[in-house]
Every structure is written in C-alpha cells, then in structure tokens.
A and B are shown apart, each in its own frame.
Chain A
C-alpha cells in the first residue's frame, strides 16, 4: 500500500504531467489559454483574481524553499530552525489565506454569475474540486500543525521524501509517520499535477517574461516563419 501511495502514484502523476504537457504543447497550442471570463463580469474578478494568483505565487515560493532546500543548508547559512519556522508560519498562513479567500471569491463568482457558470465546463468543475481540496488541505495542515498543534516539522519527512522521489530513490518509509491531513494534501497535490496538462491550468506555463525585453511592435513574415526584421 505504501509503495503504491508514495512511490507509484507520484511517478505516475509526474509522468502524466510531463507527457500531457508535451502533447498539449505539440498538438493543442490553440487551446492553451487562460480562457478568461472577465468579459462577462469584471468587478468581482478584479478583486478575487489578483488575490488568488499573487497568494498562489507566494505559496509556491514557500513550497519551493521548504521542500527543495534541505534543512541543513538553511541552518548552514545561519537561519535557525526557530526563525525559519516563524517565517514559514507567518508567510505561509498569510499567503495561504489570501489564496484560499481569493479562490473562494472566484468560485462564488463562477457559480453565481450566470454567464460565467454557463461557460464553465465539466473539466473546469473537476479541476476546481481538486484545486480547492489541495489548497484547503494545505492551509489546514499549516494552521493545525504550526499554530494550534505542537509544530510539526515536515522538513524532516515530506521534504526529504520528495527529494528522494526526484533523485529516483524513493524513500517511502519517511512518509509513514506523516499526519493524515498532510498526507492527504500531498496526494491531492499529485492528483492536481496529473490533471494539470488537461485543464486551463496550463496557462501557468506561459508567464510572458519575454515581454520585458522584446521590442513593442512585432514584425513577422507572411509565411509565419518566426519574427522577422526588427
């Protein structure tokens, strides 16, 4: 059971993710879009969307530091466990609440504003369920373990386990003692990863940073062969 949960499933979802993204990029760039609904309704979206997205960027940054950077490294550069913990709890809770609240605003809008609801596909509904579950479980884990509870240090278990996955030597025993709530969060996160390429979430991979350096006006040849002169 543990092997399936903590080794097979993660690899399966990573593989689905990679292949899915590759397929989508090769065959469905036409479907690669935010599919914004701002045209139907703008007032609520202008609050909810930045709240959700900026919150999410922070949350992702936090995850990257917490999961990928080994504890010994942060300690080596002189950040004590306590300081790190305080920072993580504070930033994690604030950005987590931001994200979840933003998503709540957006989801209410999606259900209550009729044209937006009409433009929502089954695919979207499924994706929102997984996304909401992941975010809610994650926030719950942060709040429970770090503020109410005695301070569970996932950097001793989940982080090394995840790194072991990436190093192709999955250390499944590490996950056995992790609180159920956090385990569930990890599993839904992998589920989210697996459905990612097949949903509107792909737009996350088109962060247009090239805009900062390119000339304002783009010229191209008729044949569509890449940007032309200037």
Chain B
C-alpha cells in the first residue's frame, strides 16, 4: 500500500443553474490571453447537447482515454508509444478550432468612428483568427438550455447511445447542466500521451500540470485526454490546462470556479488512495465495474492502519485530519451519492458528480403529481427510463443500478426533510428504505443543502518552505512565475517584439559600478 493524497471535487448537479459564473471567473483568472481565446478550463454544457468541443465524448472519433487489451493491459486508445512517435508530425486525431469554435470580438471602433447615418451603427463580429468579419455559428455553449432543439441535441453522442431512436420529444424532454473542469485523474491519459514527459501528476496533492518549459507542442495530450480538457495555446505553441488553481489551494483557498459558484454546489476535499492499486483497478475488465473499482482504491482516512501508512508516506498530520473531514469522502464513500464522470475512459477521474434528481421531480410536477412524495418519486425513478439511462451513460458506463440508487437516496432525503419542514415527526422508515439512518440522512441533508464555506471546502495548506511567498502568488498571475506550469504572460523568442529586454530571456545585466 502506497498512500497518496488527492484533491478531489464533487459537484451537486441539482443545484447548477447554468449561470456560467464559474466559466467566466475562471477565464478572467487564467485564459484571458491571446492564444487561448477559445479555451475554457471550466465550461458548463447543457445535457443533452453536443458538449465542448463538439461531440468530445465520441471516443471512436476522438480516440481519448485508455483501452484495455485482450491481455488485460492498458494503452492509450490513440496508440502506444511507438505509434505516437510515428504520427508525431501530424496528429491525426486533433480537434481543430471548428470543433471548439472560432473566437471572435466586435468592431467596437466602428461605433465611435461611424459617420452620421440613418441607421444606428452596429459592431460587426470580427474573427480573432483571421481578423476579418465573420458570422458566428458556434461557441462553447451555443446549444445552451437546449437552444437549437432537436437538430443540435441529436448530435449528442450520449443520447445516441441511450437509444438509436431517441428523439427529444416534448414529453420526454429533460435537461440539466454539466459544469466540467479537468478531472485531475488518478491515471491521466494526457500525461501518458505526452512524448516529452512534460505533463506530470504532483505527488503531494495529485494535481495534474503541464511543465511549460518541457512542453514542445506535440499536441498528443489533446488527443489523449478523453474529456478534451487540454488546450493548445496557438500563440505560444504549448499545451495548457486547468491547474486546479494550485496557487490558491496551496494556501487553503478553493479554486476560482468553486469560490464563485452561485449555486454553491461545489465541494473540495482530500481523498487518500492507494497509488499501487490504481493501474490494476483501471484495467478492470468490464466497463460497468470501473465505478466500483475506482472506489476500491480509496482508503478510509479513519482506519488506523491507513493513518499509519499515510504517516509513513510522509503525509502531514493536518492533511490526514483534512482527509478525515473531507466532504468528498463523505459524498463519495459515506453517503454514496457522488459518481465519476465517464469511468469507462479508465483515467480514474477525480471530479465527481451527484446526478440531478430534478428531471424526475419536474416530470412528476408536469404530470400533476406531488414531486415531493416518496412513493411517487421512487416510481418515477423507475419509470423515467430515458433520463436514468442517460445519466448512467455519463456516470456509470451505462449501468443504471448505481444511478437509481443515488436518485432514490436523494428522493428519500427530499421526502424525509419535507416531513420535518412541515412539522411532522421524522419518518425513520423513509431513511431505512434507502439503507440509511435518520441521523445520517440529516447529516447528508446539511452537507448538501446548508453546508457553510468551511464544510464545503476542506483544503489543507501546502507544506513548503516557500509558503510565505504563496500569499502573494495567489493574487498575481502565478502561472507566470519561473518554471510555473502556465507562464502565460511570459515573453519568449517567438512573441518578443525585438526591442525591449523581457525578463528571463537574457542573462541578467551587470550592475554598473
């Protein structure tokens, strides 16, 4: 057993209102630069929908993640080492800007400089790629809230898998939002695809980063990541990705997306896991067993033998303590309501989701039933095949049983709490029906509904000699620091204007005597 700590995130999808605040604040913090105009480290997509980049979940096409060979070994789906090297001169499976979208700005200048005219001047959209007027046809959330209807939503690769014939008929319509960041996987296929070895997983907290000094722009990671959460900066020629806001979490602050989330639906906490068990778990034979396999690598932070092993592995006391208070542990293991996104990609993702009950509740309400009544809810979970199967394709490789179990727990919590709200005595049988005690049910309710900042984000600060410098880093653009994994604003020879003396590009000048 080799204990490692991993920062994990859990998102409660029932609470996402699709406001995109997380995406915008993330962009303002990290990708508000040329070269990554099209990149959203955090994006929120409407399901059903095509996602961003379009149809990224169709791995037949994009070849992301791992495949298990007949002999039970894993290799990147796009090909092993030799094949990668042979296709290094042109990555055959790279999405182009058309699959993301062509970023644009507006000709604001025209608003001011336009001569007097009959019509009000308008600012034309200008492509940031060609510098010419363009027609906007797609974006990171063009199909937001089912915009475009059937025509667009039927391009959803998940919907196609649920049933070849499913059309989004009005009676069957359901919708929810899926916010996504990099999964900071336990078995990252992006790192496995990088010929230069520039992508690494941090030993201390499991954050997956790209060393900007070692990346050579081969673009294999973009293909390797099945979630398409690596973006090629076309100006610097280097790959970039979500950094789990490491300069913030190192001083105990939540990521920008979590901090600003309007729905307060994000939880950040530690998970201890057995690093030696990851490879075998990821190579589990059946896709549908991968959810259980990934849970089996997590270690109980309350177990004395785990605590001892964690100490031996050099994990500090306050980290062990944080792991014991981790909301991620509670939601994933204790209450079993969080599920991984696409476990079948075999990367062992570490951003988990509580599937939304709202499609079920809404369907009940629309048909005039009481959406809070347990019997109705349980019946609806059974009856609403399409949403349940859709969620199963997202979270459990198509196995509806775990999704149903989660939805029943959430439904039971609703019914249980309603009685309390109405002043009725709590009905323990409701809790027992889903294998919980009333006490557990209330604790889960508190965590899901009213948990305070300190309970949602249990992030121990980093132990490093440079801790005192981190305070400053959290406010400045830490990606720019020397050797840092982003260094967005840094000048290199390709972006140098040829006149001034950018820092770091030249030997330091001798001080005049």
Contact = CB atoms under 8 A, between A and B. Distances in A.
B283 interface: no
B37 to A, nearest CB: 11
A36 B233 CA distance: 9
Contact of B216 (A24, A34, A46, A230): A34
Q: Which interface residue of A32, A119, A217 has the most chain B CB atoms within 10 A?
A: A217
B493 interface: yes
A112 to B, nearest CB: 12
Nearest to B483: A224
Contact of A54 (B89, B96, B194): B89
Interface string A191-213: 00000001010010010111110
Interface residues of A, number: 53
B490 to A, nearest CB: 6
B69 interface: no
A42 B62 CA distance: 14
A34 B91 CA distance: 13
A35 B191 contact: no
Interface of B is mostly: loop
A117 to B, nearest CB: 9
Given A27-B505, A42-B96, A224-B211, A32 B191 contact: no
B192 interface: yes
Contacts of A216: 76, 191-192
A198 B187 CA distance: 37
Contacts of B70: none
A220 interface: yes
A17 B171 CA distance: 70
Nearest to B205: A222
A40 B129 CA distance: 8
Contacts of B192: 216-217
A54 B87 CA distance: 11
Given A39-B94, A53-B89, A29 B213 contact: yes
Given A38-B219, A220-B202, A222-B203, A123 B90 contact: no
A224 B203 CA distance: 10
A221 B202 contact: yes
B422 interface: no
B129 A218 contact: no
Contacts of B92: 46
Contacts of B97: 39-40, 115
Given A27-B504, A218-B201, A228-B203, A208 B218 contact: yes
Contacts of B504: 27, 30
Contacts of A198: 493
Q: Which interface residue of A35, A39, A211, A227 has the most chain B CB atoms within 10 A?
A: A39
A50 B129 contact: no
A66 to B, nearest CB: 24
Nearest to A114: B130
Interface of A: 24, 27-42, 45-46, 49-50, 52-54, 114-115, 118-119, 121, 123, 198, 200, 203, 206, 208-212, 214, 216-224, 227-230
Given A216-B76, A217-B191, 17 more contacts: A30-B487, A32-B213, A33-B216, A35-B494, A39-B94, A39-B234, A49-B89, A203-B217, A206-B196, A206-B216, A218-B201, A219-B200, A220-B202, A222-B462, A222-B464, A224-B483, A227-B197
